Amino acid sequence: MTAPVFLHPNAAEAAAGARLTLDGPEGRHAVSVKRLRPGEALTLTDGAGAGASATVVETVGKDRLLAEVVEPLREPLPEPWLTVVQALPKGDRGEVAVETMTETGVDAVVPWAAARCVTRWREERGAKALAKWRSTAREAGKQARRLRFPEITDPVTTRQLAALVAAADLAVVLHEEGDLPLATTELPGTGRILVVVGPEGGVAPEELAELAAAGAVPRRLGRSVLRTSTAGTAAAAVLLARTGRWG
């Protein structure tokens, strides 16, 4: 079984033999929830692709442990980079989407205020929702044993999304009326892939036209129509397998 992962602000600079203290919420989780004891292994990460494999030296109380670094770890930037643009779903489905996409291996998630979104992120409510998405990505990243957690960007409008589409090496809009399946789409070996997932009511025709003008192509996943909270995860699995990142 792989070692549990914890966030540590100094994980990127730690050399073999260095000793690091894990305290606060991370230390409490390690000692009181995971019940790590001296001699057991753990992984420390900065969440940005750098970290260290380590061994517990001692525990102090219920929320602190001392770990010794065994080996520094570095995770290169993934190629190609996969971003999923997620239209804002209702309720907690956004957090479900972020959690499963993080576990699958998505590199970035962009919240999108699409025209047909029922949910609207405004002021304090929007700030809280975005914080939940980011917290979910962080916790799911640790659960998935990732050194690099996905970036959760600020929400974008359709005009801002069009600019992201234009900058991508491949931009796909998941759409049930797409002529071709995502599974047979030619993929770049490097660069950036962008997948757009619409809201429950679907991508509005004017949005589809604007994104197509920026370079996006419509693609379908299969015969069934997936929920907005599961479509991004399914698409990511297809793409990550085909690009060799799951190899």
With H, G, I as helix, E, B as strand and everything else as coil, classify residue 104: helix
Q: How confident is the model at residue 3 (pLDDT cuts 50, 70, 90)?
A: very high
Whether residue 246 is contained in a domain is answered as: no
- Residues 124, 204: one domain? yes
Segment 97-156, tens digit of pLDDT: 999 999 999 999 999 999 999 888 888 889 999 999 999 999 999 999 999 999 999 999
- Residues 93, 67: one domain? no
- Model's pTM, two decimal places? 0.93
Burial of 53 (0-12, 13-18, 19+ CB in 10 A): middle
Cα–Cα distance measured from residue 156 to residue 158, given in angstroms and rounded to the nearest whole number: 7
Give the closest residue to 202 by CA, choosing from 117, 131, 92, 95. Answer: 117
- pLDDT for 179 equals 81
Q: What is the CATH number of the domain that holds 127?
A: 3.40.1280.10
Q: How confident is the model at residue 177 (pLDDT cuts 50, 70, 90)?
A: confident
Whether residue 247 is contained in a domain is answered as: no
Residue 196 above 90 pLDDT?
Answer: yes
Instruction: Kindly report the average pLDDT of the chain as a whole number.
Output: 94
Asked if residues 109 and 68 have their Cβ atoms less than 8 Å apart, the reply is no
